[in-house]
Structure 1
């Protein structure tokens, strides 16, 4: 049976900042919800683009040559191979769309890094 999902209710599953949860799939792309506060880590995804869509709040994505500000309703795609660091001064809710092969923090490993299994839980 097919059923719809409510994006805002999906955020109820997120209990920790920087800990995305997979809420859907479109072909080889995963849809993940996350709550952000503070900064993650400078990293890159060598083979995958990553889309950030702000559902609630605001954030910015630091790139090596610029900073991209995002507000509710804004989205930005970080191209593959581009080093970036997501930052949210206050709590921000985002929807991420990225290939299933995307590592949470690229090749960087920090206490905030989450495996795909953790994101699926």
Structure 2
């Protein structure tokens, strides 16, 4: 059974479907396997931390694009429209407040509810 965040993310079968693996105070620690583009969205009241466990992730924002590699992290400030994307499969860890909606107020076929994210891995 996978035990590290990287192993848990690697074991996921769905792309862009974060899973909660821990909680710290009012935040969830999540992992996901991603490839392609998620959706342009923002989180009006919450910052969102992305940490790349394996691969390479781009985070498009209206004024710039940030590229983060394995072991690197970036915080998208609250209210900033962004679109995460990975040209190749990438494993990520997220730290978000428990109130953070997966794709903010934007809903697409990739949007996952909190119930989905809390499912066992």
- Counterpart for residue 50 of structure 2: 52
| 1:29 counterpart (27, 30, 49) | 27
Q: Which runs of 5+ in 1 are unaligned?
A: none
Alpha-carbon distance between aligned partners in 2 of 1:37 and 1:118, rounded to the nearest angstrom: 19
- TM-score norm. by structure 1 comes to 0.93
Q: CA RMSD in A?
A: 1.0
Q: Which runs of 5+ in 2 are unaligned?
A: none
- Shift in Å at residue 9 of structure 1? 2.5
Could you say what secondary structure the match of 1:117 adopts? helix
| 1:9 counterpart (4, 7, 30) | 7
- Counterpart for residue 20 of structure 1: 18
Runs of 4+ in 1 over 3 A off after TM superposition: none
| 2:74 counterpart (64, 73, 76) | 76
- Counterpart for residue 112 of structure 2: 114
1:13, 1:21 within 8 Å by CA — same for their partners in 2?
A: no
Number of aligned residue pairs: 117
- Counterpart for residue 63 of structure 1: 61
1:58, 1:88 within 8 Å by CA — same for their partners in 2?
A: yes
2:50, 2:74 within 8 Å by CA — same for their partners in 1?
A: yes
